[in-house]
Chains A and B, each alone.
Chain A
Amino acid sequence: MTRPAPQKAVAGEPLFTGNDWDFDTIRRIHDACEAVAGPELGLSWYPNQIEIITAEQMLDAYASIGMPLFYKHWSFGKHFAQHEAGYRRGLMGLAYEIVINSDPCISYVMEENTATMQTLVIAHAAFGHNHFFKNNYLFKQWTDAEGILDYLDFAKSYITRCEERYGHQAVEQVLDAAHALMSQGVHRYPRKKRPDLASEQRRERERVEHGEQIYNDLWRTLPQKAGAAGTDHAAERRRALLELPQENILYFLEKVAPRLQRWQREILRIVRLVAQYFYPQRQTKVMNEGCATYVHYRIMNALSRDGRIGEAAYLEFLQSHTNVVRQPNFDERGYGGHNPYAIGFAMMQDIARIAENPTAEDRQWFPDIAGVGDGMEVLRDVWSNYRDESFIAQFLSPKLMRDMRLFHVIDDPDEPEMRVEAIHDERGYRKMRRSFAKAYDVAWLDPDIEVVDVDLDGDRRLILHHRALNRITLQAEDARRVLQHLADLWGYDVVMKEIDPATGDILAEHAMSARPIFF
């Protein structure tokens, strides 16, 4: 990032003393962090925009999933009430910051933070997260940092206009239904590009040429297999036209639901695009936090080394840093699953260690990076090209598994007891790392639901399949409610079968009919 005439404080002079800060302090802190993040860590980031907000505004931001502007819906009011009640009763602290994947990158920081905390937060969000957003392949591929705020602005005013025109209730019903299907509204893979005429013609020509080259009159004399030709051409063609099977249900409805109005389709599209925007974040929790935590750790240490922050501030930083990266053991009170900050940070440090001071074991496990020297270079590459699942599958080292004393338990309801499948030993490392990585694979965590067919010849019934992994079925009550929404949008009956992919057994079946609310 270039900035005209950086007003650099003299190295060694503390950035602040005491807890108080003003805008000039923030600017100095930012510049000092920048001086570390750029030359020393080699990060690259979107221009920063740091916004100071109050606790109440933080609660507001929570309610609209952190975005500065968002359309209105009752569910956000519900979340606001929930958070507010929690906050007022002191059950819940607020985050120190929220950072938005946009260009410029907006970081909200709380006014209550002390000067040290502001330094930490700026290092963490404005440089750590910011670098990750700008460089990680998932964000590059799926999100448009430059356009997101404009798009949200459009979405908000579009939905407001719809409310004025079609009534609050009509819009609310569409949004309710769309929200219910939100997690089924993402594309997991880049779609096939629609072929353009020129390349189609070229391919056709090549095909014909190829056919001419291998032409042999003998083939014509072979007897045809009876009934092989044109088994179910119509059905195949129908499925191809509808792009079935389709796992992005919102996309499917937007494009082909027969009875929706244009504005209803547009709202589905808005919800779908918002879901898509947040999809990379769900896949990179550990890495994103790990990256930001590692960056703030490095920056804070560098500032302390250069005498830019005092001893007291450094101790305050250490205290909150260790709080953040604490991982309680499974049998401790307060264990609530893995702490993404803890694993992320530990793995980043471990990778840097492997690159700089590898052991013999590391050389055997990570021949590519062990001892290459520059830890930051390896980390930057990792931050660009992995997501949680591949990151853990690739870089969780035996040493870290030993340090964290990880073990793997299988709970099969058909067995009387739970079984320890693997522990942190030679036999267990690979097995455990595989299943640990799987636990971060969203495709593995989210139920695998697809639209498989539409009965176009009959009653237009929509058929969905849930491939029930490990025979885990859906929560029946919620599934029925979501299907009700789906049926309302589709306009005709909907049926979902839950299928065991291993055996093909049907585990459960839900059917819903459309209510006449949209049409």
Chain B
Amino acid sequence: MHIVDRRLNPGGKSLANRQRFLRRIKDVAQRAVRESAREKDIKDLGKDGRVSVPADGVREPRFARQPGTGRQDYILPGNKTYVEGDLIERPPGQGGGGGGAGEGGDGGENSEDAFRFVLTRDEFLELFLEDLELPDLAKRRLSVVETEGLRRAGYTVSGSPANLALSRTLRNSMSRRIALKRPKPEEIAELEARIAEAGEGASADLRERLEALRERAKRIPYVDPIDLRFRRFEPYPRPIAQAVMFCLMDVSGSMTEHMKDLAKRFYILLHIFLTRRYRHVEIVFIRHTDRATEVDEETFFGSRETGGTLVSSALVEMKRIVAERYDPNDWNIYAAQASDGDNVSSDGPTATELLRSHILPACQHFAYLEVGDENGPRAGFVEHRTTLWRTYEAIAKAGGPVAMRKVNHRRDIYPVFRELFGRKDARAEAEA
């Protein structure tokens, strides 16, 4: 009898099966994930990754008999009052006394019409963010920021014991031993045996030779420090695309709570997307009323502040930061602005001028999100175009790198986000 403790074996034996399963249901699961993201609070995204996918895609068909057709026999335990020949009314619903003996456990499994299961947060976000990307990344001369990578680079004579290249070391040792004619242990053993055999009568010659061999073996070590070789690693610069995302948010008094909520949702989504997909993207948060300030993440999402509106203030702040820290020649610069589109009329020309001549030329891509009222314009109404919208529209028409969308309801946030950041080829496919 053997007892084997398997508890220490690595778990997740079924992981490969799960990956295959996820690959199979990818399309439907992606749809389900996006569906659920629409309803959910974006902060909770992926926290509870329960999705259900239509069972159709994962059905395992078998030849099985149609229940409820033809004659069925049931053998049942626990008879109390029946005698042979009694007639029993069919129980309501599907005939039969709750599954006969013959059915085993197989009945009913096919009736599932949705398959429910839980995704881990990683799996959820992976599906959720797939085929999103920052447009035109690495188009400019960007491969400048460097991280250090390590790579194998031959052998060295010094190093840490962990890096000892054993086979290389022994190869050296062997050639040295051969070259220096180190006596083999067998030779010594053989001589010893011969001497032992001869006993007292062993010739002095033999003893001398044995002595010489021993001496030589002592002087020529098995492994000499000279043999040692270590695996060498050298650092090398690994270029990564440098990119920075500016998040500009209007928090002025004209923004209603609803609008601010929409804007924040948009930025949270953007934040999740950037931090998960691009480890080296810097994010700059700027919020503005009639004054703009650069803030940290927490303040940006958390604090409440209100005041007048001066869009140009944010643009000035962005321009200042770009000039100070992000040289457009070295950086991919992206910006996303959320606003209700209102601006002090006197500020219009200033803002336009800033955008045209400073901000947009520096940017790879500029996304403008206009947030509207919850019961915003319905289709068919003539849309009221805001000042900012008109500004951007003109620039976009002239071929500027601007994408603009309007959002009225939180359920639109995610689709709009996808439109703004969907991968080009994926988008083209979707449109085709």
Spell out A's residues near B (CB within 8 Å). Answer: 1, 3, 23, 26-27, 30-31, 34, 47-54, 56-57, 59-60, 63-64, 72-78, 80-82, 84-85, 88, 104, 108, 111, 168, 172, 176, 179-180, 182-184, 327-332, 335-338, 404-413, 417-425, 427-428, 432, 435-436, 438-440, 444-445, 447, 449, 466, 468-479, 481-482, 485
Interchain CB contact under 8 A, A421 and B60:
no
Given A78-B115, A409-B97, A439-B75, A472–B3 Cβ distance below 8 Å? no
- The contact of A410 among B11, B73, B104, by CB within 8 Å, is B73
Contacts of A473 in B (CB 8 A): 65-66, 69-70
Interchain CB contact under 8 A, A77 and B86:
no
Contacts of B18 in A (CB 8 A): 77, 80-81
Closest to B99 in A: A337
Contacts of A412 in B (CB 8 A): 71-72
Given A74-B23, A111-B7, A432-B75, A85–B64 Cβ distance below 8 Å? no
Within B31-81, the residues touching A (CB, 8 Å) are 58-66, 68-80
Contacts of A1 in B (CB 8 A): 1
Interchain CB contact under 8 A, A481 and B1:
no
Contacts of B80 in A (CB 8 A): 405
Contacts of B84 in A (CB 8 A): 420-423, 425, 427-428
Known: A180-B62, A413-B68, A423-B79. 4 other contacts (CB 8 A): A64-B13, A445-B104, A471-B70, A485-B61
Contacts of A422 in B (CB 8 A): 84
Cα distance A447–B72 in the bound complex, in angstroms:
14
Closest to B91 in A: A418
Contacts of B179 in A (CB 8 A): none
Interchain CB contact under 8 A, B118 and A85:
yes
Within B153-189, the residues touching A (CB, 8 Å) are none
Given A435-B73, A476-B66, A104–B2 Cβ distance below 8 Å? yes
Closest to A476 in B: B66
Cα distance A162–B357 in the bound complex, in angstroms:
59
Interchain CB contact under 8 A, B88 and A329:
no
Closest to B118 in A: A85
Closest to B70 in A: A472
A69 to chain B, nearest CB (A): 9
Cα distance A51–B9 in the bound complex, in angstroms:
11
B82 to chain A, nearest CB (A): 5
Contacts of B86 in A (CB 8 A): 419-420
Judged by a CB distance under 8 angstroms, whether B328 is at the interface is: no
Cα distance A336–B118 in the bound complex, in angstroms:
28
Interchain CB contact under 8 A, A408 and B73:
yes
Judged by a CB distance under 8 angstroms, whether B385 is at the interface is: no
A271 to chain B, nearest CB (A): 13
- The contact of B64 among A404, A428, A475, by CB within 8 Å, is A475
Spell out B's residues near A (CB within 8 Å). Answer: 1-7, 9, 11-14, 16-24, 58-66, 68-80, 82-90, 95-105, 110, 115-118
Cα distance A417–B103 in the bound complex, in angstroms:
21
Interchain CB contact under 8 A, A53 and B6:
yes
Interchain CB contact under 8 A, A474 and B66:
yes
B348 to chain A, nearest CB (A): 56
- The contact of A439 among B68, B73, B82, B118, by CB within 8 Å, is B73
B243 to chain A, nearest CB (A): 34
- The total of interchain contacts (Cβ-Cβ below 8 angstroms) comes to 271
B352 to chain A, nearest CB (A): 53
Closest to A432 in B: B75
Cα distance A64–B18 in the bound complex, in angstroms:
12
Contacts of B90 in A (CB 8 A): 411, 417-418
Interchain CB contact under 8 A, A411 and B72:
yes
Closest to A81 in B: B117
Given A50-B2, A438-B73, A481-B59, A332–B117 Cβ distance below 8 Å? no
A466 to chain B, nearest CB (A): 8
A441 to chain B, nearest CB (A): 9
Cα distance A80–B11 in the bound complex, in angstroms:
13
Instruction: Tell which of B21, B58, B70 has the most Cβ of chain A within 10 Å.
Output: B70
B161 to chain A, nearest CB (A): 36
Given A27-B1, A439-B100, A473-B69, A418–B61 Cβ distance below 8 Å? no
Contacts of B4 in A (CB 8 A): 49-52
Closest to A500 in B: B70
Contacts of A81 in B (CB 8 A): 18, 21, 117-118
A299 to chain B, nearest CB (A): 15
Contacts of A408 in B (CB 8 A): 73-76
Interchain CB contact under 8 A, B1 and A49:
yes
Interchain CB contact under 8 A, B102 and A445:
yes
Interchain CB contact under 8 A, B66 and A77:
no
Interchain CB contact under 8 A, A413 and B79:
no
Given A80-B18, A183-B63, A411-B71, A60–B13 Cβ distance below 8 Å? yes
Interchain CB contact under 8 A, B69 and A413:
yes
Cα distance A485–B252 in the bound complex, in angstroms:
62
B183 to chain A, nearest CB (A): 45
- The contact of A330 among B9, B17, B77, B116, by CB within 8 Å, is B77
Interchain CB contact under 8 A, A74 and B20:
yes
Interchain CB contact under 8 A, A184 and B63:
yes
Interchain CB contact under 8 A, A59 and B97:
no
Contacts of B21 in A (CB 8 A): 74-78, 81
Cα distance A438–B102 in the bound complex, in angstroms:
8
Contacts of A30 in B (CB 8 A): 1
Cα distance A78–B118 in the bound complex, in angstroms:
11
Interchain CB contact under 8 A, A411 and B103:
no
Closest to A23 in B: B3
Contacts of A409 in B (CB 8 A): 73-76, 88, 97
A292 to chain B, nearest CB (A): 18
Closest 6 A-B residue pairs measured CB to CB? A329-B78, A77-B21, A472-B70, A77-B17, A481-B61, A330-B76
Interchain CB contact under 8 A, A336 and B62:
no
Interchain CB contact under 8 A, A329 and B95:
no
